[in-house]
Structure 1
């Protein structure tokens, strides 16, 4: 059912018959959130969600090979190389030859990268509070916990890796 706000009618993101399927609703909401957040990051900082994911991974795990970052984040190698190039050009990461294998690179987040990571995190916190305003604080926390459970679980990760050929 659509909701009225003032003179304009706001249509739901997913038709009512499709809404009964969790996967369909999750897909559409995910697409919308991705698009809105990506636009926000590009407009505010000139970065994309993949850049944030790379910086966050490096901050949490320390220096890593490009290949391992891509594997952990499930980013294909061509996209990974381009993203690291962009981050390196901005001085947010440093890429050096692996000491034991000159064919590989080790990527390290820089101090500017850590600062930018904080800026992105602040921007995403603001984004979340603005764009999830239809949910109470408790509902947002519950949604977050459920999404984390799906993210950390084996079912979706295994199925996704299988279709990606990982």
Structure 2
């Protein structure tokens, strides 16, 4: 029995849909696009702390966390910075070597270290923050105020859905 033209079109469309579902255009794939954007933003901000202040990305993240806390346990830094334990350790060691941060043993758990900024570290933090804020403002300047709010809400929603 001959199939109608409509049935053939539906079958062809179904195959095309199935094929499209099994293929992936990386350039249009949301997680990849987001990762690329995050990397682009990170590199743009890196110009602030890397070129001017000779800090690595990991050192900058740790410095930023330490700037917001009087002191913090090293195990708490990782989740706040998306750095793993080894990256945190290296960053803290680099900051300590340069006199920016200091470490001491936790009074209740001698295996844990407490990190804080030295006075030189606090001064450096206060020096970098205006540059970092300026870069953030420049990056967001391409968006309207409403778009910034929508972006913020969308980021919060996605983050909440993934935790």
Same fold (TM over 0.5): yes
Aligned to 2:5: none
* Structure 2: runs of 5 or more not aligned: 1-24
Q: How many matched pairs?
A: 139
Tell me whether 1:42 sits opposite 2:82 in the alignment.
no
Q: How does 1:25-40 map to 2 (within 5 A)?
A: 25-40=33-48
Q: Hey, what's the Cα distance between the residues in 1 that align with 2:122 and 2:156?
A: 23
Which structure's relative contact order is higher, taking Cα pairs within 8 Å and 6+ residues apart? Answer: 2
- RMSD (Å), alpha carbons: 2.6
Bigger Rg, which one: 2
* Structure 1: runs of 5 or more not aligned: 1-16, 159-166
Tell me whether 1:83 sits opposite 2:66 in the alignment.
no
TM-score (norm 2): 0.68
Can you list the C-alpha shifts for 1:57-112, whole angstroms capped at 9, x where unaligned? 23334322212222443321221111001111222211012223333211112232
Aligned to 1:139: 147
Aligned to 2:134: 126
Task: Classify the secondary structure of the residue corresponding to 1:135.
Answer: coil
Describe the shift of the 1:71–1:21 C-alpha distance in structure 2 as closer, same or farther (beyond 3 A).
closer
Residue number among 82, 89, 103 corresponding to 1:95 in the alignment: 103
Q: C-alpha displacement at 1:141, in angstroms?
A: 4.4
Looking at secondary structure, tell me which structure has more helix per residue.
2
Residue number among 47, 51, 54 corresponding to 2:62 in the alignment: 54
* Mapped contact 1:66–1:107 kept (Cα < 8 A): yes
Describe the shift of the 1:73–1:131 C-alpha distance in structure 2 as closer, same or farther (beyond 3 A).
closer
Q: Hey, what's the Cα distance between the residues in 2 that align with 1:115 and 1:67?
A: 24
Q: How does 1:66-77 map to 2 (within 5 A)?
A: 66-77=74-85
